[in-house]
Chains A and B, each alone.
Chain A
């Protein structure tokens, strides 16, 4: 029972908090642009937003060993922040009330991608905590065979969940990438940088 408040404050709230903060910041930013009649800024925010999201994929390349440089743990933190910030800018950009279906689909795919990313962060943090706890217990006191077996089972389950999540996160990212690319190509095809 005492675990429940910890679960809420340490895991559930940060997860929903990140998503809610994204929505609230986007609404506030969009509101300010409308208030001061600066919608043209919103139109251009798609570019830095996209660049930030592209920058965040350095971690994905490192994880798949397509690049060899950089500490994965550090790059993961950058991945989380850059993707969140880039999504915020794209969301404000989208808040300038576009009409095209392709743009809508790209934004929804991005939001699902952000939700998926936050789920991955949540699962990974939980797995890390369980591993650290297990390691500490094993170090501090000797575990009985049954307890150790039980703990390792749960750890392996956690890792399986992370693996399964990766299998879902990739197609979502793929869908987002294709839709966003299609939207960007369409814009550059018809837009004249004015």
Chain B
């Protein structure tokens, strides 16, 4: 029991030293993170930015960073040669609330996401609606010739996702899908010469309004599953030998008999099973004895 007062004194002294260290090394003992590079010299002078019991205040910031000079002059009064993007909006903010965007203490990496991002809502309406006062338009094929405001497609919170509406394009541009889109290179699409619009709509690539009859009419005798002709769901290829009716040997025999050597691409002549092919076009099957 006699040792307790001594123990308590030792503990109390240690604690006093720790508290004293908070005054000597506030940037290590108290600071929530190192200051940004430009403010490194203020690391041990907490009250340069903070008011006691009231936190950091914008009025302290503007003592050095005069709002009217942000982006034009340094805090030392030296003119900045090239006009920076900061000029575009710091002078046009609805209110001076530096802490709404800035946090001089760089927290550990994991807390970065908790920092407040810039909010376009802080800007005066006129500046907010003129994106080009701060942002340069992309020069890619999609954006190059657009004359409309960014806000037609993009939100102010993030560039993506964008809500692009093809109706915003000029007629000439709208008809040239390839000026923005790369055509698919599969065998099915390779053979098309018509515009994408013949099968696809502008609001989405799928579902496509593909008209099978343009390539082969699926009549009553051909109400088969897709797999019968398009093996392994490969719609860029087909076979007519997938059913019992047409065997390769039988088809070869019939065509050779009529002197037709090139019969590999069936739909070249037999586009409509109801019509018997002729040299130029076709005639009704009823005009010939059924096979």
A100 touches B8 (CB 8 A): no
Interface membership of B30, Cβ < 8 A: yes
CA distance A188 to B51 in the complex (A): 11
B18 touches A105 (CB 8 A): yes
Interface residues of A in 17-42 (CB under 8 A from B): 34, 37, 39-40
Interface residues of A in 145-168 (CB under 8 A from B): 167
B30 closest partner in A (C-beta): A186
B30 touches A100 (CB 8 A): yes
Chain A residue contacts of B111, Cβ below 8 A? 39, 96-97
Interface membership of B67, Cβ < 8 A: no
A100 touches B32 (CB 8 A): yes
Partner of B29, one of A34, A100, A188: A100
Interface residues of A in 128-187 (CB under 8 A from B): 167, 171, 174-175, 178-179, 182, 186
Chain A residue contacts of B29, Cβ below 8 A? 100-102, 186
Partner of B55, one of A34, A97, A105, A190: A190
A40 touches B15 (CB 8 A): no
A190 touches B46 (CB 8 A): yes
Chain B residue contacts of A191, Cβ below 8 A? 55
B55 touches A175 (CB 8 A): no
B52 touches A189 (CB 8 A): yes
Interface residues of B (CB under 8 A from A): 4, 7-8, 11-12, 14-15, 18-19, 22, 28-34, 46, 50-57, 99, 105, 107-108, 110-111, 113-114
Interface residues of A (CB under 8 A from B): 34, 37, 39-40, 96-102, 105, 167, 171, 174-175, 178-179, 182, 186, 188-194
Q: What are 6 inter-chain pairs, A to B, with CB distance below 8 A?
A: A97-B111, A100-B32, A102-B18, A174-B12, A190-B55, A192-B50
